[in-house]
């Protein structure tokens, strides 16, 4: 298996090369030249396996240049009791018959990004070694909240790497911000960008494309790579948990081959794309339900075929989805059309005009697989409240968006198919929003800050604040850099002392 660029203007590469460079030289994203298939016997055998054993099997199918021992060291280095507080790693909880929550937030930073970013450092350092490289790898990350902390935690003190994270100054929650600016590690740097997530993400892409920055780093024996979901090494571990969740449903008694629907709160399109690849491998997913918040650019695209980022940007209580440029959609367009020229032209339109429109055939193929809707702020709050009152299960705002959109889907399509909702963060990462939904105002009116609200929320609900959050307030602030969106390249060179 080789990996090719979505824009088709550079040669195919090995898995190790794709993971090391992150983004293709022509500006495209790497995709496998064929998606491996799981047969019925694989589903039978894997039901009894642990999450780690399932991960080894699936990753081996995509990483032919890695040995079984390589992959085993990556998997067990990532998913262990020191990093994850659940032995199942990604447990599936049946909330009501036919509706399951896939909890993806049991890692060290309490968000689904840990599922990939605890593994990526292992994959990346092995890839560099396989490619015979000796340069220091500089990881650049733009984050809408969760990726930044998960990447910092994954890469801290990893030999041969440096990591630099940019986050929108006013676009993350207090907990998310505090997680990043208190990050320990001798190879980590963090900066707040004056702008929104799209500004930060575009800034990182521009740095990758800057010949001046690339040459400056090369002169000091450094090379850039990405820990954002544009890197195939980020996306690949996410495929595992969608396969694994279906295996869990089979193990609980569902008949093999019976379909499921998968509901994903979506911003950059990476998480739902991993579910798409699981479907292509053989998981019988009937519909991929794409749930957006008020930044509903994907809802509009999946309904009309028109992607238009020229719209108002909303700051919401689900900030990891506050995105108007969904980078991973490019991979889906490539998989659906198998036409790099078309994809390149659409992305060029997006760059020049802020919008593009796919042809009717492409839209039709996408709509066979995907269904989309969005959830307002008021609906998000009401959903958190309703699910707590009726099912005694506490949702974070992103998962609440997914639950709400699933209800809209089930009503609109009258579809009783069993569903899996991807739960992407602990409710304690967004304590203020969750407390306002489930508690009477007088319960937390006297709280002095977000962290006191977390304590009150835990006390009132009988739940426990996760370890990755509870002592944040006491941690020393180590990073206080603020930069303009046009000065991110200068910040990178400053952090690297170049």
- Structure tokens given for 323: 């995105």
Output the CA torsion 415→392→116→215 (10° steps): 100
Report in angstroms the alpha-carbon separations of 307 from 215, 237, 327, 334, 372. Answer: 35, 28, 12, 15, 14
Residue spans of alpha helices (H) in 50-102: 51-62, 68-78
Q: Decide: residue 33, CB within 10 A, 0-12 exposed, 13-18 middle, 19+ buried.
A: exposed
Active site residue 113: yes
Tokens 């650019």 correspond to: 297
Coil, strand or helix at 93: strand
Report in angstroms the alpha-carbon separations of 346 from 88, 303, 333, 355, 490. Answer: 41, 17, 9, 8, 31
Backbone torsion region of residue 461, taken as left when φ is above 0, otherwise alpha when ψ lies between -120 and 50, otherwise beta: alpha
Report in angstroms the alpha-carbon separations of 120 from 79, 114, 294. Answer: 12, 10, 31
Other beta carbons less than 10 A from residue 357's beta carbon: 15
Q: Report the distance separating Cα 355 and Cα 352, nearest Å.
A: 8
Report in angstroms the alpha-carbon separations of 164 from 107, 167, 387, 487. Answer: 21, 10, 38, 14
List the catalytic residue out of 9, 37, 113, 130: 113
Report in angstroms the alpha-carbon separations of 173 from 107, 146, 330, 425, 473. Answer: 19, 10, 28, 12, 14
Residues belonging to the active site: 113
């Amino acid at each position: 298996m080789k990996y090719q660029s979505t824009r088709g203007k550079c040669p195919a590469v090995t898995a190790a090369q794709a993971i090391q460079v992150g983004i293709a030289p022509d500006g495209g994203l790497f995709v496998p030249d064929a998606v491996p298939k799981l047969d019925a016997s694989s589903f039978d055998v894997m039901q009894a396996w642990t999450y780690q054993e399932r991960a080894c099997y699936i990753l081996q199918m995509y990483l032919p240049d890695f040995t079984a021992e390589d992959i085993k060291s990556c998997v067990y280095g990532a998913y262990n009791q020191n990093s994850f507080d659940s032995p199942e790693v990604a447990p599936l909880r049946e909330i009501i018959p036919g509706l399951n929550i896939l909890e993806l937030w049991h890692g060290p930073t309490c968000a689904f990004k840990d599922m990939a970013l605890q593994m990526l450092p292992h994959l990346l350092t092995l890839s560099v070694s396989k490619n015979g490289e000796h340069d220091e790898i500089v990881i650049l990350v733009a984050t809408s909240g969760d990726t930044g902390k998960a990447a910092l935690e994954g890469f801290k003190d990893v030999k041969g790497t440096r990591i630099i994270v940019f986050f929108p100054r006013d676009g993350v929650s207090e907990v998310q911000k505090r997680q990043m600016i208190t990050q320990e590690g001798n190879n980590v740097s963090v900066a707040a960008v004056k702008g929104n997530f799209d500004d930060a993400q575009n800034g990182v892409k521009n740095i990758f494309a800057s010949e001046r920055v690339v040459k400056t780093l090369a002169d000091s024996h450094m090379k850039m790579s990405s820990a954002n979901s544009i890197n195939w090494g980020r996306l690949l571990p996410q495929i595992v948990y969608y396969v694994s969740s279906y295996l869990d449903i089979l193990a609980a008694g569902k008949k093999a081959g019976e379909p499921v629907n998968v509901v994903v709160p979506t911003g950059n399109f990476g998480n739902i794309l991993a579910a798409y690849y699981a479907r292509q491998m053989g998981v019988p997913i009937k519909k991929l339900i794409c749930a957006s918040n008020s930044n509903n650019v994907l809802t509009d695209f999946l309904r009309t075929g028109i992607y238009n980022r020229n719209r108002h940007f909303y700051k919401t209580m689900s900030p990891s989805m506050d995105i108007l440029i969904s980078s991973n959609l490019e991979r889906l367009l490539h998989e659906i059309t198998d036409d790099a020229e078309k994809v390149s032209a659409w992305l060029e339109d997006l760059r020049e005009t802020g919008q593009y429109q796919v042809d009717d055939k492409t839209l039709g193929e996408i709509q066979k697989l995907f269904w989309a809707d969005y959830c307002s702020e008021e609906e998000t709050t009401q959903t958190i409240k309703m699910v707590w009152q009726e099912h005694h299960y506490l949702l974070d705002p992103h998962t609440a968006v997914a639950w709400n959109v699933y209800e809209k889907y089930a009503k609109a399509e009258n579809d009783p198919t069993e569903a899996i909702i991807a739960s992407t963060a602990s409710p304690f990462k967004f304590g203020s929003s969750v407390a306002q939904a489930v508690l009477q105002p007088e319960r937390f009116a006297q709280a002095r800050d977000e962290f006191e609200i977390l304590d009150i929320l835990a006390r009132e609900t009988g739940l426990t604040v996760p370890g990755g959050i509870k002592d944040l307030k006491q941690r020393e602030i180590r990073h206080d850099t603020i930069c303009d969106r046009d000065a991110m390249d200068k910040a990178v060179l400053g952090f690297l002392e170049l």
